Amino acid sequence: MKQQISRAEAEELLHRYLKTEYLLKHSLESAVIMEKLAEHFAEDQDAWYITGLLHDLDMDRVGPDYEGHGEKTLELLKAEGYDLPVLFNAILSHTEGVEGSRGKRSSRLDYCLAAAENITGLISAYVLMKPDKKIAGTKVKSIQKKLRDRSFAAKVSREFIQDITVHTGLEQQAFIAISLSAMESIAERIGM
pLDDT digits (tens, 9 = 90+) for 91-112: 999 999 888 888 999 999 999 9
| pLDDT (tens place) for every residue of the chain, 192 residues total | 999 999 999 999 999 999 999 999 999 999 999 999 999 999 999 999 999 999 999 999 997 878 899 999 999 999 999 999 999 999 999 999 888 888 999 999 999 999 999 999 999 999 999 999 999 999 999 999 999 999 999 999 999 999 999 999 999 999 999 999 999 999 999 999
pLDDT at site 65: 78
CB 44 within 8 A of CB 50: no
Distance CA 66, CA 12 (A): 23
Assigned CATH for 7-190:
1.10.3210
**Pick from 35, 14, 10, 34: nearest CA to 24:** 14
Distance CA 9, CA 161 (A): 29
At 32, phi and psi to the nearest 5? -70, -35
pTM of the model: 0.96
CB 103 within 8 A of CB 94: yes
Question: Which residues are bridge partners to 15 per DSSP?
Answer: none
Label residue 72 exposed, middle or buried (CB < 10 Å: 0-12, 13-18, 19+): middle
pLDDT at site 146: 97
